[in-house]
Amino acid sequence: MNMEIFQRIITDNQQREKEALTERDLEIEFIPNVAVGIVGTRRSGKTYRTFQSEYETDKKNVCRIQFNDHRIINITSDKLSLIDDAYYGLYPEKRNKETVLFIFDEIHRIKGWEDYILYLIESNTHRVLITGSTATLQRGEYSSALRGKFFPFELTPFSFREFLRHYNIEEDTASSKGIGFLRRYFKIYLEQGGMPGLFNISEKLHGDMLRSYWDTMILRDIAEAHNEDNINLTLLRSFADSLISRTACPMTVNKIAGNLKDAGFSFSNETLYKYLSYLSDAFMIYAVEIYSRSEKIRLRNYRKIYCADWALANSVCYGEGIDETRALENIVYLELHRRKAQINYYRTKEGYEVDFVVSKGKKIQSLIQVSYNLNDEEVKKREYRALIKSAEFLKVKDLTVITFNDEGSEEINGYEIRIIPAWKWLLGK
């Protein structure tokens, strides 16, 4: 291994043709003396987001190394210092004078890589961006390895706004023609999901591809990432499939455990709680607690499960999959998550449930219900009743029902309920 090889790699990457990509809305802010990383579920577009950061920088100020490059596949950690030596050998005038972006993809392959990153970020002119497989970039893992000098930015599958951008559809919410296009593409988004790798393949392959994604996540991001646990792969897969079948539904580990034991599995409930944490750490699922100031109440009540992608959940679910209201609810959850909202659900003492309590700090900002449509009077009555009862107890005025296409407002008991189509709400701020 010598410096010339790294100089060739650096130069090759700088001269490479730009990748065709759809701009992502995830903003990455670099922090002095801290490495940053892009984390998120497998196949959400993390590597392409690094290209976006690269293209926003003068190409001569980018040092990109992909550690799956066959030329450096056997490199050891004591040789990593050749990277910045090679870069500054090409551009000596930039040392300590210009900001240089180091992008490292799959650096986790090198045992002992952390010390090199800590060395690089000592310089205020260095920005370090790390990405890699979900199995190695799980919640908290890099921060621990880098002694707290790592900040993760989570990338989810495409938002609706990004989906429209990919297909060059204008966000026209004023004209009839524009609204028609938005409705049409939201229907496609609802059915197809937001995984970027599926946008340019035939529709008949979507389900098969999504199932292959799920299988890979189970195997590589859970089983292989935690191989020291000797995970029972059959139990793990059955548990994960049971969870995902409960997308946008109540879930207790004890209930799933009972079903699995009835099916002949032998395990402790602690094992399932561990698997649940692994699935969450791999950004495959999100678990939402009930809203309460009491920790005891939060812990003893069920959680609601949402998937990294609703179409992924639908492809894995047993039987007929998840219905349109549950898929829509999952979309709304992910958008609230992108907006950095604090998210809970709420259940009144009468048993009426509100899908989302949206908070900032200790203050509740809004209550949101999700229903595919309000054509059924019983459905409408149920959704409104839950909102009003919850609003009265929680002292909240901002009430919304998100639907596929219904729009308007209702005033009930002095509360105004806004009804808004999902495609319009998703394009709001």
Please give the order of strands across the beta sheet that includes 415-421: 342-347, 353-360, 363-370, 399-403, 415-421, 408-412
Cα→Cα distances 108→75, 81, 100, 191, 307, Å = 12, 16, 21, 35, 26
- In this structure, are 268 and 412 located in the same domain? yes
Integer-rounded Cα Rg, in Å, for the chain is 24
Each residue's pLDDT expressed in tens, for the chain with a length of 429 residues: 689 999 999 999 999 999 899 999 999 999 999 999 999 999 999 999 999 999 999 999 999 999 989 999 889 999 999 999 999 999 999 999 999 999 999 888 888 999 999 999 999 999 999 987 766 666 556 656 687 899 999 999 999 999 999 999 999 999 999 999 999 999 999 999 999 989 888 888 999 999 999 999 999 999 998 988 999 999 999 999 999 999 999 999 999 999 999 999 999 999 999 999 999 999 999 999 999 989 999 989 999 999 999 999 999 987 778 999 999 999 999 999 999 999 999 999 999 999 999 999 889 999 999 999 999 999 999 999 999 999 999 999 999 999 999 999 999 999 999 999 999 999 997
- In this structure, are 227 and 324 located in the same domain? yes
- In this structure, are 147 and 224 located in the same domain? no
Closest CA to 309 of 330, 324, 323: 330
> Is 204 a domain residue?
no
- In this structure, are 229 and 339 located in the same domain? yes
Q: Which residues pair with 307 in a beta bridge?
A: 285
Pairing of strands 399-403, 415-421: parallel
- In this structure, are 282 and 389 located in the same domain? yes
What CATH number did the domain enclosing 39 receive?
3.40.50
Spatial distance between the Cα atoms of 142 and 292, rounded to a whole number of angstroms: 32
Cα→Cα distances 4→9, 64, 68, 72, 88, Å = 9, 15, 18, 12, 12
Could you tell me the residue range of the domain that residue 95 belongs to?
3-154
The domain tally of the chain equals 2
